[in-house]
Structure 1
Amino acid sequence: MAPLIAIALLLAIAIALVLVPFVRSVARTVGMVDSPDRKRKLQDESVALGGGIAVFAAVAITFAATILIDRQFFGQTLGVLSLRWYSLFGAAAAMLTVGLVDDTWGLRGRQKLLLQCLIIAGLVGSGTVIEKLSLFGLTLDLGVFSFPITMLWLLIAVNALNLIDGADGMATTAGSIICIGMGIAALHFGSYLSVVLAFGLAGAQLGFLRYNRPPASIYLGDAGSMMIGLFLGALAIWSNFKESAVLASAPIAILAIPLFDSSAAILRRWLTGRSIYVTDRGHLHHLLQLKFGKKGMLLVVALLCGITTTSSVLSLYWNAPWLAGIGVMVVLGLCINTRTFGHAETRLLVNRFVNFAQSFTLNPKTCLTMKQQRRVPLQGVGQWETVWEPLVEFAKTHDLARVKIDLNLAWLHEGYHANWQSVRMPDRAHQLCVSLPLFTHRLGNGKNAIQIGRLDVVALAIDADAYQKIADLSDQLMDLTPEIDRIVSRLESVRPQAPAPVTLPVEQVSDVPESVVNA
């Protein structure tokens, strides 16, 4: 089997090295490029997209060529190519197509999610179904939940790889190490075709990494990252046992880094009240790049993926399922305790849990008067307390039920979240809910403004002065605008990058900010 592994790995690298420059040239010619916008895409110049095409072609050619070589020279060691393999490559090609449409013309988040679900449903319908979960020695038959669990797992895998693909070389560095781990796991269980696919996919990404490492000249795009994620999700199911669909702890642990990043992103957005589709700069690669630089970020990612992959593989060969969990906990502990990644999300979660637990220990009278507050700097060094504290004082003096501020200055890698509220909130029917946008003025000419977050307010709707309180709060926000501008100006001087171009004329924000009121 070793010669076939070497053939798959080296052949995929060679094909990718040849195909990537060609795809890059075509992408630039047709205008399929990723242009900087100074908000989310902070590269200095436009970079070609479509790298996923080269990776997919390299994998498909390598897979077919390795099978032919096996039949010609190795006596069909790999066995028979069943229908599920054609279904997998068809689904991967469909996922690649959806990604190309998104990269070229753009899709709404819900549109992309719907298309992902349809493609995955087709793959699940063809026979790729998780029948059992085997976690740390315990096996659970899923029964009627097999189909929804499989759908959910593949969706998670597809989007986990997509979410970490936000820095040069990030997805391909993590993906290649994960694929090698999957290949070794499949080898242990005798799933030889999965071994070939895993090492072929690893080789294709390593070849692509030659052009994707900092400074990248081509990106995978959504097309490539979603396609790779689908392959990895299926391999996690297929690589465990030769003829049974079992999702075990080792493959899940191998995928720990992308799963950790995507879980933290979802948790961060849910706990702060943001949309799940909102742009921020709080992903693992963003924080690592700030701390270690572009090349240092890749080294740290390789180290973290190496730890989880090695511990997972050893757990298989030593028959010690707990070892995979130990590796994951070591990596998560390092990231959180060093405040490299996940620390802010952990604080948000702990604060929410503490407030919830505390509510069970208070008597009814105390609940009517007691307030809870949490402040979490999500990212950056901005002194946002000078904005937040006057708002809390206003809420106290005007007897508001809640004020919540959420700031997201993605182009400055800055985020802040704070919440002050009554332990016992008014009934929903008696709540006046207002959401006010927060602005800063663009530096330089002072004629434009950009939105940096929102202030959410809850007042007692049956209060006769409720409208006046909201009007007074709007005036308070106008008074705080110079302080907001001062903080942003200081941050700009520390990290000089042009602010996001999505601006509004200053006349539109000089009056009371428009709000959405739900009584």
Structure 2
Amino acid sequence: MVYGIQFLISAAAVFGVIKISRALSLYDIQDGRRMHKGKIPRLGGLGIFLGFAAGVVICLLSGTGSALRSDSRFWLLLAAAVIVFATGFVDDLKPVPARYKLVIQLAAALLVCAAGFRFDRISFAPLNFSLDFGIFSWPLTVLWIAGLINVINMFDGLDGLAGTTSVIALLVYTVFFYRADFADGFLLCSLLIVPVTAFLLFNLPFPKARIFMGDSGSNFLGFMLAVLPLVRETPVSPAVVPVWYAATVLVFPVCDFIAAVWRRLREHRSIMSPDFSHLHHKLVAMGFSQRQTLLLLVVLQSAVAALVLTSLLSGGTAALTILLAIWLIAILFFTVIHINKNLHFRGSDS
């Protein structure tokens, strides 16, 4: 019942944002690196955020979610989420310099650390491996959060891509929380899946997207995908979603981000400068339609999610082997796409 009501509110919020955006002519910028045609609103992140907030309020009123009612750590986490969303929302209305956005993202990440949600150690249970981070706990956590915010932001370049990527990752997170019997973590994931799913009704390219999530949506989702693996019952409890698994289920956007940073450093450009060489751009340049590109990446990411869960259930060296295989295959895939894209352009020039 809670999720049903939240879904209706979320869908209504996204629909309302579309109407208001059109009335106020709040459309996405059209330039050489954009893949869409026509005037399309870009404030879908507001609908996602309002849907999530509605879910939190419903839970508070219905008495669902003990941590949301009594644990101040979760309220600090949600306050940081509001800061990240608000910064993205302002950026959607009027561009904010990248350095200012980064400073705010780092500040929000520090707030999460202060709340007690951070990487104190990294462990891999199947091999009984554990390493304490000590004094590096805070900087590594801040780097993870700020990094993943920008990972999802850069991957949001194709209708439906960031939304479907987030839902797939969140579904994997819910399995981890369910297996650990951590109801509050499961609830937070579910409360986020619902509004993103409602948003996708208007964002998927079937026949075409009616709204984009904008920086407000991609930043908010990136932040939540980063902090949910940090959520645990007490500050000393082990991580429910180990960072190994969280990073692996997002292997395609993470690899795309690393490739983009390397490409821009090699070309002596700012790592925050936009370009037309992300994975989805290359696939479209090779001849795939935007819908085909989306479907291909959804299938690949779903396969990765299934393999991550298989690794979780396997244990021992098999779990490590599966995770390493995912990364090796992803790197090989990126390499092949890069080479094929270059060969395609050379063939076109000749």
TM-score range, shorter chain: 0.7 to 0.9
Residue 313 (structure 2) pairs with residue 317 (structure 1):
yes
Which of 72, 76, 96 is the aligned partner of 1:87?
76
In structure 2, what is the Cα distance between the partners aligned to 1:233 and 1:158?
A: 7
**Equivalent-residue separation in structure 2 for 1:183 and 1:18 (angstroms):** 25
2:289 to 263, 283, 293: 293
For 1:130, which of 103, 114, 119 is the aligned residue?
119
| 1:447 equivalent in structure 2 | none
- Cα 1:259–1:205 shift into 2, 3 Å: same
Alignment-derived partner of residue 31 in structure 1: 25
Q: Are positions 1:216 and 2:175 aligned together?
A: no
Provide the rounded CA distance (Å) in 2 between the counterparts of 1:379 and 1:106. 36
Query: What residue number does 2:277 align with?
Result: 282
* Aligned-pair CA distance for 1:380: 5.6
May I ask how many residue pairs the two structures share in their alignment?
340
How much does 1:96 deviate? 1.0
Decide which of 381, 404, 416 is 2:345's aligned counterpart: 381
> Residue 329 of structure 1: CA displacement?
2.8
In 2, the alpha carbon distance for the partners of 1:329 and 1:181 equals: 20
Relative distance call for 1:24 and 1:243 in structure 2 (3 A) is: farther
Pick from 168, 172, 175 the counterpart of residue 181 of structure 1.
172
Deviations 1:202-228 (A, max 9, x none): 221111111111221111101110011
1:19 aligns with 2:5: no
Contact 2:149–2:221 at 8 Å: present in 1 too?
yes
- Larger relative strand fraction: 1
Q: Secondary structure at the match of 1:48?
A: coil
The 1-side partners of 2:222 and 2:254 are apart by: 11
Number of the residue aligned with 1:308: 304
Select the structure that is richer in helix. 2
Tell me the residue number matched to 2:130: 139
Cα distance in 2 for partners of 1:33, 1:304 equals 31
CA gap of 1:192–1:289, structure 2 versus 1, over 3 A, is farther
Determine the structure 2 residue equivalent to 1:431: none
Q: What residue is the counterpart of 1:3 in the other structure?
A: none
* Structure 1 contact 237–245 (Cα < 8 Å) conserved: no
Normalising by structure 1, report the TM-score. 0.60
Counterparts in 2 of 1:187 and 1:242: CA distance versus 1, 3 Å:
farther
Distance 1:61 1:378 in 2: 47
2:140 corresponds in structure 1 to 149
Q: Give the % identical residues.
A: 24
- The separation in 1 between residues aligned to 2:181 and 2:339, in whole angstroms, is 40
Q: Quick one: which amino acid aligns to residue 72 of structure 2?
A: L
1:118 is displaced (CA, Å) by: 1.6
In the alignment, the residues of structure 2 paired with residue 25 and residue 125 of structure 1 have an alpha-carbon distance, to the nearest angstrom, of: 39
Rounded to whole Å, the distance in 2 between the matches of 1:66 and 1:179 is 19
Q: SS in structure 1 opposite 2:163?
A: helix
Match of 1:97 among 86, 95, 100: 86
Aligned-pair CA distance for 1:151: 0.3
Give the match's secondary structure for 2:216. Answer: helix
Q: CA offset at residue 8 of structure 1? A: 5.8
Larger Rg: 1
For 1:36 and 1:10, locate their aligned partners in 2 and report how far apart those are by CA, in whole Å.
Answer: 36
The partner residue of 2:37 within 17, 41, 44 is: 44
Separation in structure 2 between the aligned mates of residue 160 and residue 179 of structure 1, nearest angstrom: 15
The whole-number CA distance in structure 1 between the counterparts of 2:104 and 2:329 is 36
- Report Cα offsets for 1:371-413 as digits up to 9, x if no partner: xxxxxx8586158xxxxxxxxxxxxxxxxxxxxxxxxxxxxxx
Structure 1, unaligned stretches of length 5 or more?
A: 1-6, 345-376, 384-489, 495-519
1:59 aligns with 2:23: no
Give distance in 1, aligned partners of 2:324 and 2:85: 32
Cα distance in 2 for partners of 1:103, 1:15 equals 22
Per the TM alignment, residue 142 of structure 1 is displaced from its structure 2 partner at its CA by 0.2
Instruction: Label 1:333 to 1:69 Cα distance change in 2 as closer, same or farther (>3 A).
Output: farther
Give the distance between the partners of 2:344 and 2:49, measured in 1 at CA: 38
Output the CA distance in 2 between the equivalents of 1:335 and 1:227: 26
SS at match of 1:139: strand
| Aligned AA (1:264) | A
Superposed CA offset, 1:33-87 (max 9, x none): 21312x122422221121111111111222342455465xxxx787964112111
Aligned to 1:231: 224
The letter of the residue matching 1:329 is L
TM-score, scaled to structure 2? 0.88
Given the alignment of the two structures, is residue 200 of structure 1 paired with residue 191 of structure 2, yes or no? yes
Q: Give, in angstroms, the shift of residue 313 of structure 1.
A: 1.9
> Structure 2, unaligned stretches of length 5 or more?
none
Residue 289 of structure 2 aligns to a residue in which SS? Answer: helix
Query: Which whole-Å deviations, capped at 9, do the CAs of 1:418-448 have from their partners, x for residues lacking one?
Result: xxxxxxxxxxxxxxxxxxxxxxxxxxxxxxx
Deviation track 1:118-159 (CA, whole Å, cap 9, x = no partner) reads 222222222222101124732110000000000000011111
Work out whether residues 51 and 219 of structure 1, in 8 Å CA contact, stay in contact via their aligned partners in 2. yes
Q: Give the direction of change, closer, same or farther, for the CA distance of 1:276–1:133 in structure 2 (3 Å limit).
A: same
Q: Say whether the 8 Å CA contact 1:191–1:241 is kept in structure 2.
A: no
Distance 1:289 1:19 in 2: 32
